[in-house]
Chain A
Amino acid sequence: MNAAQRPLGKESDRLLAQIFDECAERVLAGETLESCLARYPQHSADLEPLLQSVVRVRGLATVPPRAPEVAARSQAQFMAAARQMAASPGARQRSRLASFWDSWLASFDVLRPIPTGLVAAVVGVFLAGLLVTGVVSASANALPGDPLYSVKLATEQARLWFTHGAARDLLNNQIQEERTSEAIAVERSRRVVDQIPLDGTLTAFDPRQWAVAGLVVRIDSGRTAIVGSPYLGALVRGTMRAPGDGSLVATYLSVEPRPTPIPTPPQIPSRPQSLMGPQRGGGVSRTPSPTGRHGGQHFLGIPTVYATRTRRALSNATAPSSTLGASTVPAVQTSAAGATTQAAPMVSRTVAPGALLTAVAKPTRQVVGTVAPGSTSAGTPEPESTPVPSAVPSRTTLPSATAVRYPSITPAAGTVAPSRTATALPVPTGTAVATSTPVPSPSPTTRPTSPPIGSGPVAPQGSPTGSSGSTVPASQAATATSQPAGATPTASPVVTPVSLVPDTGPASPLGIGETAGSSAEGANSPGYISTLVSLP
């Protein structure tokens, strides 16, 4: 870049450019070079060669005169074209329009000093705002399924974003009412909409329909996915669809778990050490109950709807691994992480040694598995499992009580931390009964992971010994002593002083959302997905 092309960054260059322009103007007007330079003696050295160049260029700017005939011919051509254009009526009309347009634009002469880019930006922002405002206004009456419905939802979220305090609660209520109105409008108009948001309080429910936020939503037993257990007053979120027949069918419902009070460990009576002996059928066992707390019947007389857990969740529930036998710490923590399903928070519980397992649920659970003869599922370091010649291939648990959450159970004071040895017993009626014997063991926690149902032997995964994997693990025996409805419990009904602190909340009236072994084993996670099955 030469000096002539470098930017005039310095103030002196700008000043020189200004002075040069003034002097050049004077020279072009006829003033002499000397007089111009005399005005700026301090810059004369810089200005003089430049002004001389200007004078020289002016001297070279000789233009030969135009040939008269050529100029006349050009003018004649121009005038002919001008007359021809003037004879065209369309041109006159366009010219009038152009004149009006020019006069209208001339009224904006006041904007001329403003940079064009700034004016364009302002106009662009204005037009964009106009467009957004128009779209938002048009979306105010949009219904689910309309193209602008997402705009409506986004607008509501934006309003919520900028609203705080009591006004936010009020706005939330308004939005919920709007959702209800939209659903009613969709229902009445018999429109087919695949997805309609649902959010509100459960005011009534039965196996076939729920009343949420003033809407009656049909439950499709084969398609509706329900997360959680319903109870009156529960906050329900989900989606529904409008098949076009004037009804609303729930596709997904998530029931907010009821607030659980902090459980207090019950006073567990000390038990004699003799009960913890490795007696067959003794140790940890639970007294199975063929019915739940409500006996499979709603207290209002509505038939109980049982939720059968999905395959995965069920298998997780039926074959939890445990290290109960290796526990020397006061608490053994089992986790239902293996039963993770959609939107299922991990729920873990701590099973206190000596916790009583019989007081909670009466699940009817079906477990398909095989217990190999002679296999043991014992904890370390010294498994004391009793070899089982034949295992029951299946086990059925039909829960009829509310899914119970066990946030944390602390051992009772003075309780001896036992480990338990599980023994899988052959049950002719298809009931697997396991017992566990508390044995002091240093296993802190376990997380049950279970194979899918029907995949073969119920293997105690994560067992410290991992002996054969073909017996019902001790933890399962301890946590899921269950029998099919009507089955005769063949295990020893000895109740070991192992207790879980159950949820003290009311049981689900219908048992909807109940899962197999939901109360007595480690799979009582509230985050499973259930499929509703109506009992006869």
Chain B
Amino acid sequence: MDWLYSLICALSFSTFTVVKGESTRAELAEQQALLDRASRADPAALGALYDQYSPRIYTYVYHRVGHAEVAEDLTGQVFMRMLEAVRSGRTWRTSFSGWLYRIAHNLVIDYYRRRGRASFVDLDDVDPVRSEADPLGAIEAKLDSERLQSALSRLTDEQAEVITLRFLEGLSIAEVATIMNKNEGAIKALQYRAVMALRRVMQP
């Protein structure tokens, strides 16, 4: 009976894998169709992409700038640039998400160039909605964000970038490599050095 049990398990796993693979392929095809429509300036497709990626872009920008309003403003600029790129025909080549993160990365760099590297989180700048619901949690979140921003600010730009994309945004090595225009081996080495540096700056 054991062999029968093993056979059933194997068949079940195979079936699951095939179904999941088909599902993944279908999702990829659907995503590709969406991107094709968006590249042809289809408003519905562009809206769908906005809904899909704006939270992720906002989170990334927030981790880099540590300010909600600034993050919101920069997120809006990212998607406006996307529209401009679609209008001029200079859209993404391979990875749409990597291309979008690249726009956000450039905007963050421009933001820091405009106002300087020093950025401090104002504890009084608390999200009013959240402050009404959980003022203590909001303050803790701000403090955590302040610590994180302080630690990241003591790293190099590339180290802060790779930690943000890899561990805060959860992107894969391949995606980070695409965004940062490096190969995967270089990203792994950079990530290793970045975490070592982060550990040193976060030591009490």
Contact = CB atoms under 8 A, between A and B. Distances in A.
Interface of A: 2-6, 8, 13-14, 16-18, 20-21, 24, 28, 49-50, 52-54, 56-67, 70-71, 74-75, 77-79, 81-83, 85-86, 88, 91-92, 94-99, 101-102, 105, 112
B49 to A, nearest CB: 10
Interface string B89-131: 1110110000000000000000000000000000000011110
A101 B89 contact: yes
B89 A66 contact: no
Given A62-B145, A78-B46, 17 more contacts: A4-B193, A4-B197, A24-B191, A53-B202, A59-B144, A63-B59, A63-B62, A67-B128, A78-B47, A79-B47, A82-B47, A83-B43, A85-B86, A94-B89, A98-B86, A105-B93, A112-B94
Contacts of A61: 63, 144, 148, 167-168
B55 interface: yes
A23 to B, nearest CB: 11
14 contacts: A5-B156, A20-B195, A24-B167, A24-B191, A50-B199, A61-B144, A65-B127, A71-B54, A74-B54, A75-B50, A77-B76, A79-B47, A95-B89, A102-B93
Contact of B51 (A50, A53, A75): A75
Nearest to A4: B197
Nearest to A3: B196
A99 B63 contact: no
A98 B40 CA distance: 8
Interface in B34-88: 36, 39-43, 46-47, 50-51, 54-55, 58-59, 62-63, 68, 72, 75-76, 79-80, 83, 86-88
B188 interface: yes
A22 to B, nearest CB: 10
A197 B18 CA distance: 79
A96 B188 CA distance: 38
B16 interface: no
A98 B42 CA distance: 13
A60 to B, nearest CB: 4
A64 B191 contact: no
A62 B86 contact: no
Contacts of B63: 61, 63
Q: Pick the most buried of A16, A82, A92, A102: most chain B CB atoms within 10 A of its CB.
A: A82
Nearest to B35: A102
A395 B88 CA distance: 90
Contacts of B135: none
A78 B79 CA distance: 7
A95 B130 contact: no
Given A8-B189, A61-B63, A85 B87 contact: yes
B199 to A, nearest CB: 4
A4 B196 contact: yes
A147 B43 CA distance: 56
B170 interface: yes
Given A53-B199, A102-B39, A81 B145 contact: no
B83 to A, nearest CB: 5
B51 A92 contact: no
B195 A60 contact: no
Nearest to A19: B192
A87 to B, nearest CB: 9
Contacts of A49: 199
B172 to A, nearest CB: 8
B194 interface: yes
B192 A91 contact: no
Given A82-B41, A92-B40, A98 B195 contact: no
Contacts of B198: 53, 57
Contact of B39 (A56, A75, A95): A95
B50 A65 contact: no
B166 to A, nearest CB: 8
Contact of A16 (B46, B156, B192): B192
A63 B202 CA distance: 20
Q: Pick the most buried of A64, A75, A81, A88: most chain B CB atoms within 10 A of its CB.
A: A64
Nearest to B183: A115
Interface in B155-197: 156, 159, 163, 166-168, 170, 173, 188-189, 191-197
Contacts of A6: 193
Given A28-B167, A79-B43, A95-B41, A70 B72 contact: yes
A528 to B, nearest CB: 71
Contacts of B188: 17-18, 20-21
A17 to B, nearest CB: 4
Contacts of A18: 188
B26 interface: no
A6 B190 CA distance: 10
Contacts of A94: 87-89
